[in-house]
A and B are shown apart, each in its own frame.
Chain A
Amino acid sequence: MADALERITNLVALLMETRAPLTQQQIVDELEGQYPTGDAAQRGAFERDKALLREIGVPLESEVLGGNDAGRTAYRIDRDRYELADLHLAPDEQAALQLAVAAARLADAQFGLLKLGGDRSSAPVVVANIPELPALPALREASAARAAVSFGYHGSPRRLHPYALLLRERFWYVIGHDVDRGEVRTYRVDRMEGELAVGEAGAFERPADFDPRATFPTDPKMLGDEPAARAEVLVDEPRAAAIERELGAAAVVRRLPDGAVVVEVPCTNLDAFRSWLFGLGEHAEVLGPAGVRSAVVEWLQAMAGAR
């Protein structure tokens, strides 16, 4: 039997050229001698071919026929959907995109670039490794098409109008209007559970002034439903300069003669605050408010007592 590549290439040509959709039987007849004989083998080979076309992104359309052929499925490929639209990239734009793809090191971007006529660049000096997740392409398409999505999260179903995707720190977030909760919510894409279902296009409008960066604070110490709170922290000299750079000079409340600084830090989210604090090891001490200081002391006492 012929190489499957030859048969599938012919299948693509046939389904792109046909005016009327073709049934499996018509296809087998047209591609004479290329499918195996015997019903089961033929059906199996045709199913594999269809799956393979869909896997590589060929827009295979199917419809169930009426009339004499009632109940049979027929297939064709819409040439307009099949063919890549020309982006009309100028040479310098093409070159810039090529460098971007080399810097971001995403395999799918490399292949997309080939389709756009670009080539591979040698590795640039500055590169970025960003996390890839299987749900991201479908979420982006849903967001662009304004289609609602549904998925599981912490064990319960969610329905969302996805406004945007945001990569912050090391995580991808999808931000949108939660249909059941009636407000803008943020979900970690890597924590989504179950199948992602995408609804019809044009299901919602995104607010014109929507900015995903502004929907939740960059600083995890400010996250949470508690009222905003701040703590004063003494940072010893060895880490003082780094912390001042991290928080900005405006956060410095006092400077001590030995080079230490007292800084004001958000502590709305106590877990995130503690995590930041202990990242400084023994070089930091909470001075106040008293409630935050005693919470840290109790945390340490529980640990010390667990010895």
Chain B
Amino acid sequence: MTVRRGPRPTGDRLRRLLVMLPWLMERGEVPVAEMCHRFELSEQELVKDLELAAMCGLPPFVDEMVDVFIDEGVIFAGVPRLFTRPLALTAPEGFALLAAARVAMQLPGADADGALARALHKLAVALGDDAVVVETPQPPAAAAVADAAQRSARLHISYWSPAADRRTEREITPRRVFFEGGYWYVIADDQLSGEERTFRIDRIEHCRLTGVVDPRREVEVPHGDSWFADDELPAALLRVPAGGGWVAERYPTRSVQADGDGWLIEVTVASERWLRDLLLRLGSEAEVVRPAEWLGLGAAAASELLRRYERAGSDGS
């Protein structure tokens, strides 16, 4: 159950009440605990709002008053003919339901002709022809990794490690699979490091089952940038031209501010190699402001790469 602090805004309470009343009427009687769980309220909050609602309606007609009483942990309800249906879906709710269903249709293992597809169709009819299209293209290993995560099955993988710039062979036990910012990731127990690690699934070059099944373990999937914006990782402050604003859209940042026509962006640095490749993409108009150890990183990377091009046409183009 979620724990809130401070008074609940009246809008939140009303929004919930207008869904709770019709639901209660349909059920007739329901245990307090069940209703608390369903509507994410504490018992105190639920009882308070229901007691207030019990005084509502259109006096003096008794059949138009909300009738609720609570006895030994069970709620008994008769609701007038006014609140028989929940409030219609709002625009944000309609959008979010459609988007959720469309995303789920693309998850590894989704059944294109199954119950979800039928539910989605009914939703789309009710909300008007919509044309919301979601693309979450799956790398080849996604289905196998998702299946292993369902069963806690240990996999052997060949993984391109960008920080080390080499391929590693390792055994992992996938726990959760998630899509974020255009990529699929797996959170797994990594036998090589002995730690929980997050891998990008498109960097898994091969994978196969080892036959070992590990005990189940629950892990949380982070939301947003939090899993990447690790305080233990170093940061670098970059000055980029106006056209370099995409850095802030694409990568986790600690701060972004306008700087003349361009931007001052503090990025979280996953590895020195990642920063080096980023600087190559930004070109000569971008620079590292700090830390000092990386001031010359871009120029050094460019010089090194130039040497390759100066070995006149290594493949005889």
Contacts and interface: CB of A to CB of B under 8 A. Distances in A.
A112 B131 CA distance: 19
| Contact residues of A: prevailing secondary structure | helix
Interface stretch (A19-27, A64-72, A129-137, A178-186): A129-137
Contacts of B156: none
Contact of B303 (A87, A125, A281, A304): A304
Nearest to A279: B277
Interface residues of B, number: 116
A36 to B, nearest CB: 15
Contacts of A275: 281
B315 A138 contact: no
Contact of B93 (A81, A90, A108, A297): A108
Contact of A12 (B18, B64, B277): B18
A234 B55 CA distance: 77
A287 B132 contact: no
Contact of B133 (A132, A167, A234): A167
Interface string A82-111: 111101111011111101110111111101
A3 interface: yes
A108 B91 CA distance: 9
A112 B135 contact: no
Nearest to A144: B128
B103 A104 contact: yes
B258 interface: no
B317 A287 contact: yes
Q: What 10 A-B pairs are tightest by C-beta distance, nearest first?
A: A144-B128, A100-B104, A112-B93, A57-B90, A104-B100, A307-B299, A164-B131, A303-B302, A109-B96, A108-B96
Interface of A: 3-6, 8-10, 12-14, 16-17, 52, 55-59, 81-85, 87-90, 92-97, 99-101, 103-109, 111-117, 119-120, 123, 125-130, 132, 136-138, 140-141, 143-145, 163-171, 190, 206, 210, 212-213, 218, 232, 234, 238-239, 241-242, 245-246, 256, 262, 274-275, 278-279, 281-282, 285, 287-288, 293, 296-297, 299-307
